[in-house]
Amino acid sequence: MLRARDRLIRSGRADVVVAGGVEACLHPFTIAVFVQMKALSTQSVDPETVSRPFDVKRSGFVMGEGAGMMVLERAEFARARGARAYGTLAGSAVSSSANHITASDAEGQAFAMELALRDAGLAPADIGVVHAHATSTESGDLAEAEAIGRVIGSHAAVTATKSMTGHMMGASGTVGAMAALFALKDGTVPATRNLDELDPRVELDVVRGERRTGQWSAGLANSFGFGGHNVSLVFTK
């Protein structure tokens, strides 16, 4: 959604667009579908501790509901009206793995990140923050960790806010993009909750325990969907 709206501005077809996602999916039927897909967590413990991206004991995601909206404007238009700018959407990209009805894969994810960096005119070393899609599934987290490591490397501070919100489906992409944007703006990367023991196969600098403060000039946000749809966005301060 954000990428499509970004294209409207770049092409000159619009000065301002509103983009985002809303999801209210908590219903017995929806839950049953994801149970049959074996995507939901099977842990019968405190619900607040179940969503645990990149943790060695993760067992699936937790469904959530939410909404996120962003206003994108052409820079000149925003300045003319005195708008408050939070950052710049510098690059965006979409790829399609199309290799599985539900799962994405590292190849398609890496391709989206590479294209987004190219679109932004940035190098992997420029990316200081990554908001991972990281739903807390066994295969999904590993595929994304491999893709991030391959394209960005291990220097970036990685966070996964689905550990706090659960998987908000259609709203997750925008909320994750906002997390990456505000990490740059405020110089604070939120910690990934419930990450007690990092999966040794995840060779990334995942922020955990306490939030991390610093100054970063660029960040990347990933959002991956069913059928192998991969979206990566690059933001700059």
Burial class (CB in 10 A: 0-12, 13-18, 19+), 201: exposed
Residue 224 has pLDDT above 80, yes or no: yes
Q: Is residue 169 within 8 Å of residue 221, measured between CB atoms?
A: no
Q: Please count the CA atoms within 13 angstroms of the CA of 100 that sit on its side-chain side.
A: 14
pTM: 0.94
pLDDT at 199 (0 to 100)? 98
Distance CA(33)–CA(223), nearest Å, equals: 21
pLDDT level of residue 4 (50, 70, 90 thresholds): low
pLDDT at 120 (0 to 100)? 97
- To the nearest whole number, what is the mean pLDDT of the chain? 93
Q: Which fold has domain 2-236?
A: Peroxisomal Thiolase; Chain A, domain 1 (3.40.47)
pLDDT in tens, 178-193: 999 999 999 999 999 9
pLDDT level of residue 198 (50, 70, 90 thresholds): very high
228 versus 198: the higher-pLDDT residue is 198
Angle, vertex CA 218, rays to CA 216 and CA 224, nearest 5: 125
pLDDT at 203 (0 to 100)? 98
pLDDT level of residue 7 (50, 70, 90 thresholds): confident
User: What DSSP line would sit under 212-237, residue for residue?
Assistant: EE---SEEEEEEEETTTEEEEEEEE-
DSSP state, residue 127: -
Residues with Cβ within 8 Å of residue 112, at least 6 apart in sequence:
93, 94, 95, 222, 230, 231, 232
Distance CA(115)–CA(231), nearest Å, equals: 10
pLDDT level of residue 60 (50, 70, 90 thresholds): very high
Q: Is residue 2 within 8 Å of residue 19, measured between CB atoms?
A: yes
Structure tokens at 203: 């060779």
Mean pLDDT of all residues in 63-79:
94
pLDDT at 102 (0 to 100)? 73
pLDDT level of residue 99 (50, 70, 90 thresholds): confident
Residue 46 has pLDDT above 90, yes or no: no
pLDDT at 1 (0 to 100)? 61
Domain locations in the chain? 2-236
Percent of the chain clearing pLDDT 70 (strictly above):
98
pLDDT in tens, 72-92: 999 999 999 999 999 999 999
Q: Find where tokens 């959002």 sit.
A: 223
pLDDT in tens, 164-182: 999 999 999 999 999 999 9
